Amino acid sequence: MNHRHMQPSIQTTLDSIVIQFFEMVPIRRIQWHGENVTSQDLDVETQKYMISRTVSSELCAKYPPSFNYQKAFLKKLLSTLETFGVEICDEIYEAYTELLQHSDKDDDSLCYKTYTLDAVSKVTIQESVNMISFGTTGLSTWQAAQHLAEWGLQNKHLLQDRHILELGCGLGLTGLAISKVCNVKSYTFTDCNTQVLNLLAQNIELNFSDRQRTNKTTQDVKSSTFPKLEQTLVEKLDECTNDSEYDTVDTMECTVSDTENVSNGTHDIQITNGNDINTIEPLQDVENLDNCNNSSSSSNQVDENVVIDSECCLNGNHGNGLSVCDFCDNIRLGILDWENPDMSLMKTLTKTNVVLAADVVYDTSIIPALVSILKIILSQSSRSVAYIASTIRNEDTRDQFLITLSSEGLKYEQMDSPTLQLFHYDRSVPIEILKITIAT
């Protein structure tokens, strides 16, 4: 399709909307048109271009945002076009009608978000549509992870040729982006939650399977990689949508000023059933979110029947607590409990030059264990350094973290925020990056 008739400003706006669509940016925060857009700019050909790049694109077919999000996106697009009084192309109505055939129950418990890094590189993340699943927030991507990824891509010289360890990696956006662009020697993802690591393993495959160093064909990889993981995790997420054993916040806008409360044990998270689908906004205080389960049975307990499949793209646990990516051997994955670290795993991390972590400082009860792990790793070399990105939700929690760092002989300094703005998260929320080293 030839789009040479488009004004450059219109092309830029449309391309930005496409990027935001695949990131699943809240509909109300997408800027749909510039100040100088006229009805002539939104002709049928322009509309077809928009549809072909979003809901009818190959990328959407392969890695789709949730059905509910796609419906909300097209509904807003139709409303915007109607505001300009332009003729609406049949392709938009057809796509919207097709999506309406899907009921809310058809929407998957897992969806895809695709983040554009540059003209050629993207990171695709499969994550839960629920903000809280299995008693953890680790199955969703948070602002600090995006902020740290932007900082890392802007400061490649600090990460290039380094052995990097990420603590509390979640679903891997930061590490996947840095591994793709920054030419690291090795990247080790760690988290304490088995469900998070299962989904992360699939995200590693989504983004690095083209680097296969095995003799498997593409079809072999598609049919053999993570079959047990995918079935188990999807089934369990589907179950917990209607199971009172788990607390889930499903496609709701989270604020601190509305009326309906969901208790997390010691704090109240306030939510409202807004019309803006899949719009998860930052919470002002999420301390003890890992205690969000109201049930007497803990959803944080590791399910022994859900393990990283040693026959898939991760080459199992070799007795040191790590699994190595089968087609990209500088990527590793391990279970790391800060309060009870596996010493065999810790011994494999002696080459670590850089420690990264995002949104791990949210609960005062885990700060001593976090600082202890940082001290162990940073003490291995005087040149080792940690960069910790934190959303400042609670000043007392932040102060406690800084006090604990100092008391354990660690010094810190605040880094400049990245000027690179690749992703579309709420930048009104304060996020800081601390550089942490051993005090000399």
DSSP 152-204: HHHTGGGTTT-EEEEES-TT-HHHHHHHHHS--SEEEEEES-HHHHHHHHHHH
Among 107, 135, 153, the domain boundary falls at 107
Is 59 in the same domain as 126?
A: no
Tokens matching residue 332: 């590793």
Is 147 in the same domain as 259?
A: yes
pLDDT tier, 75 (very low <50, low <70, confident <90, very high otherwise): very high
CA distance 74 to 397: 41
- pTM summary value: 0.77
**Region 182-205: what's the mean pLDDT?**
93
- Higher confidence at residue 278 or residue 297? 278
Q: 26: burial class by Cβ within 10 Å (0-12, 13-18, 19+)?
A: buried
Is 261 in the same domain as 360?
A: yes
Return the pLDDT at 32.
82
Task: Inform me whether the pLDDT recorded for 381 exceeds 60.
Answer: yes
| Domain interval for residue 313 | 111-438
- Residue 273: CB atoms within 10 A of its CB come to 10
CA distance 196 to 188: 15
Is 403 in the same domain as 266?
A: yes
Return the pLDDT at 157.
97
Counted domains in the chain: 2
- Does any domain span residue 1? no
What is the sign of the dihedral through the CA atoms of 206, 212, 214 and 220? positive
Return the pLDDT at 327.
66
Is 211 in the same domain as 345?
A: yes
Task: Inform me whether the pLDDT recorded for 227 exceeds 90.
Answer: no
- CATH number assigned to the domain comprising residue 205: 3.40.50.150
